[in-house]
């Protein structure tokens, strides 16, 4: 068999993900906060991209006025100069360096003259709070070293996450010395901190508060699991007390703090900023995209007009950055346009929800919206991820509007979120002494609303909504 070289043409189709396309897809699924961080990163890396500031808009307007025909000659220029100076005086306000303003500063409260960032103070940490108390208490140097190791081994709830042997190895002491120092630390503020279990934490607080009732102490030390599981009748029988007396003991235990370090948590609440607002205007719904805080981008005119590349590498670099900036602006516009089209389709499909509330939420899947706006299902999935919208009934994630369906007796369907809302309303209106069971809820849904739903499905929805079972919701007293 002879070997030979041969050339042949072959025509084939394949999908190539260019970097620009990858960037556009990535921008679709970013949340509002992540999108702003991505834009700021691109502004730092791309010299041809710049943000349009409000000051620049004002300067451009002033420049346009300067080029406009003037009727007053020099008087107009002097007047503009005075206006500029007046603006700076207003901006400086009480912080100007003139003698009159200095006199005003002396008569006002000193804090009012401080910068805004100078007024901010960091939230005290649990470790710092305990260290401050230990240094003001009668701790020896060795106990202080052990106490610092204990403070460094606390979790977010204030519980000790290390054993006495581990702390002794860390500090070069004995477990007995660690236990002695731990005894002192647990009685600092907040009382019960550095406990190794909820039982120990509650017992320390009872000791400091002088709650030495034998029944109360035994309940906490031996029957804390029974109290959590609401097994009250065996406790009443064992301690030979009435239910009213047991309630007094329970109220005392509930007045204690099982998470002594939770108030010193470093985590701050994160508030959701909606990507769009939906308002009702007459018989229609208006969609407004949230552009607040979103940078407005443009090409840097200095690089486009004044900077002349000298070599091929410089010219290629400028052209590459220009294409990157243009593609980013185009991708951002396409992202907002796609978001608007998806919201418009959601409003059309879920009009009943926007009119009356969650009970009218109908079944909806991504494919329905994708076919309505002539886009791929994956695009709709990406644009609805980590996006929120403000509606007349509250702020909801876009994924909330997509839910599965449950069949009714007449052959129609109802959304699962609507069923969850109905279950929540039934439980909220129940008698606390006779809570409704999952099976009874299923029967009510079938009789009143003709919704065919099994008991286990009701239990699944109830668990998803973080609602306890009927036995745990029942009020015993």
pLDDT in tens, 112-131: 555 655 566 667 888 999 99
Identify which has the larger pLDDT, 310 or 321: 321
Length, in residues, of the chain? 477
Average pLDDT of the segment spanning 414-441: 87
Confidence of residue 422 (pLDDT cuts 50, 70, 90): confident
- pLDDT, position 309: 65
User: Among candidates 415, 425, 431, 429, which has minimal Cα distance to 462?
Assistant: 425
User: Among candidates 334, 303, 311, 314, which has minimal Cα distance to 49?
Assistant: 303
Task: Using a cut of 0.95, tell me whether the model's pTM lies above it.
Answer: no
Identify which has the larger pLDDT, 310 or 211: 211
- pLDDT, position 101: 43
Task: Extract the tokens encoding 115.
Answer: 């910068």
- pLDDT, position 469: 86
Q: How far apart are the first and last CA of the chain?
A: 97
- pLDDT, position 173: 92
Please tell me the distance from the alpha carbon of residue 43 to that of residue 59, in angstroms, as a whole number.
Answer: 21
Question: Exposed e or buried b for every residue in 427-443, given b needs 16+ CB within 10 A?
Answer: beebeeeebbebeebbe
Q: Which residues pair with 133 in a beta bridge?
A: none
Please tell me the distance from the alpha carbon of residue 273 to that of residue 452, in angstroms, as a whole number.
Answer: 38
- pLDDT, position 297: 87
- pLDDT, position 318: 82
- pLDDT, position 265: 67
Q: Around Cβ 102, how many Cβ atoms within 10 Å?
A: 12
Backbone phi, psi, residue 130, to 5°: -70, -40
Confidence of residue 169 (pLDDT cuts 50, 70, 90): very high
Please tell me the distance from the alpha carbon of residue 48 to that of residue 52, in angstroms, as a whole number.
Answer: 13
Domain at 404-477: CATH architecture: Orthogonal Bundle (1.10)
Average pLDDT of the segment spanning 365-390: 92
pLDDT at residue 332 tops 70: yes
Confidence of residue 1 (pLDDT cuts 50, 70, 90): low
Question: Exposure of 263 by Cβ count < 10 A (0-12 exposed, 13-18 middle, 19+ buried)?
Answer: exposed
Give the tens place of pLDDT for each residue, 174-199. 999 999 999 999 999 999 999 999 99
- pLDDT, position 156: 86
Cβ within 8 Å of residue 188, ≥6 positions away: 130, 133, 134, 137
Identify which has the larger pLDDT, 303 or 74: 303
Highest mean pLDDT out of 21-25, 52-56, 280-284, 341-345? 341-345
Please tell me the distance from the alpha carbon of residue 396 to that of residue 419, in angstroms, as a whole number.
Answer: 17
- pLDDT, position 411: 66
User: Among candidates 295, 323, 328, which has minimal Cα distance to 52?
Assistant: 295
Confidence of residue 324 (pLDDT cuts 50, 70, 90): confident
- pLDDT, position 71: 45
Confidence of residue 108 (pLDDT cuts 50, 70, 90): very low
Residue with tokens 């581990």: 166
Confidence of residue 410 (pLDDT cuts 50, 70, 90): low
- pLDDT, position 76: 56
Assess contact for 241 and 215: CB atoms under 8 A: yes
Identify which has the larger pLDDT, 291 or 121: 291
Average pLDDT of the residues of the chain: 82
- pLDDT, position 87: 44
Average pLDDT of the segment spanning 195-224: 93
Query: Which of 33-37, 85-89, 437-441 is predicted with the least confidence, judged by mean pLDDT?
Result: 85-89
Query: Rounded to the nearest 5 degrees, what angle is found at the Cα of 319, between the Cα atoms of 313 and 323?
Result: 145
Q: Around Cβ 387, how many Cβ atoms within 10 Å?
A: 21
Give the tens place of pLDDT for each residue, 28-77. 888 888 888 889 998 898 888 888 876 555 555 555 555 544 444 455 55
- pLDDT, position 360: 86
Domain ranges of the chain: 29-42+272-403, 126-263, 404-477
- pLDDT, position 296: 87
Please tell me the distance from the alpha carbon of residue 374 to that of residue 393, in angstroms, as a whole number.
Answer: 29
Helices first, then strands: H and E counts in the chain:
24, 8
Q: Which DSSP string do the residues of 249-278 spell out, in sequence order?
A: HHHHHHTS-S-TTGGG----------SEEE
């Amino acid at each position: 068999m002879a070997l030979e070289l041969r050339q042949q043409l072959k025509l084939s189709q394949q999908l190539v993900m260019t970097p620009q396309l990858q960037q556009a897809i990535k921008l679709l699924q970013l949340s509002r906060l992540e999108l702003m961080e991505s834009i700021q990163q691109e502004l730092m890396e791309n010299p041809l991209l710049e943000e349009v500031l409000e000051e620049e808009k004002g300067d451009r307007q002033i420049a346009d006025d300067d080029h406009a025909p003037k009727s007053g000659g020099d008087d107009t220029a002097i007047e503009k100069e005075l206006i500029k100076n007046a603006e700076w005086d207003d901006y400086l306000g009480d912080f100007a360096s003139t003698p009159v303003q200095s006199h005003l500063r002396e008569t006002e409260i000193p804090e009012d003259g401080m910068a805004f960032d100078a007024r901010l103070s960091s939230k005290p940490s649990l470790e710092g709070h305990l260290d401050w108390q230990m240094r003001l208490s009668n701790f020896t140097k060795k106990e202080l070293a052990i106490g610092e190791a204990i403070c460094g081994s606390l979790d977010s709830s204030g519980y000790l996450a290390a054993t006495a042997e581990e702390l002794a190895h860390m500090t070069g002491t004995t477990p007995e010395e660690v236990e002695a120092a731990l005894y002192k630390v647990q009685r600092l503020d907040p009382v019960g901190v550095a406990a190794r279990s909820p039982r120990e934490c509650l017992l320390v607080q009872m000791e400091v508060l002088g709650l030495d009732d034998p029944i109360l102490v035994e309940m906490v030390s031996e029957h804390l699991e029974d109290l959590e599981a609401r097994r009250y009748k065996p406790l009443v029988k064992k301690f030979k007390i009435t239910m009213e007396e047991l309630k007094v003991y329970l109220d005392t235990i509930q007045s204690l703090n099982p998470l002594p370090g939770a108030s010193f948590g470093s985590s701050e609440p994160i508030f959701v900023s909606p990507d769009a607002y939906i308002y009702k205007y007459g018989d229609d719904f208006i969609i407004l995209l949230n552009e607040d805080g979103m940078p407005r981008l443009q090409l840097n005119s200095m690089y486009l007009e004044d900077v002349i590349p000298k070599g091929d590498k410089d010219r290629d670099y400028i052209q590459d950055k220009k294409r990157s900036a243009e593609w980013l602006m185009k991708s951002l516009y396409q992202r907002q346009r796609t978001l608007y089209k998806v919201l418009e389709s959601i409003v059309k499909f879920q009009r009943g929800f926007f009119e009356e509330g969650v009970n009218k939420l109908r079944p909806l899947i991504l494919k329905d919206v994708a076919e309505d706006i002539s886009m791929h299902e994956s695009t709709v999935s990406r644009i609805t991820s980590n996006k929120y919208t403000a509606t007349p009934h509250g702020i909801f994630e876009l994924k909330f509007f997509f839910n599965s369906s449950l069949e009714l007796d007449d052959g129609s369907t109802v959304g699962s979120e609507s069923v969850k809302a109905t279950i929540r309303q039934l439980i909220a209106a129940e008698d606390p002494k006779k809570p409704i069971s999952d099976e009874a809820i299923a029967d009510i849904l079938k009789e009143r609303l003709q919704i065919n739903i099994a008991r286990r499905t009701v239990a699944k929805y109830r668990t998803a909504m973080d609602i306890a079972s009927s036995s745990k919701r029942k009020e015993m007293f």
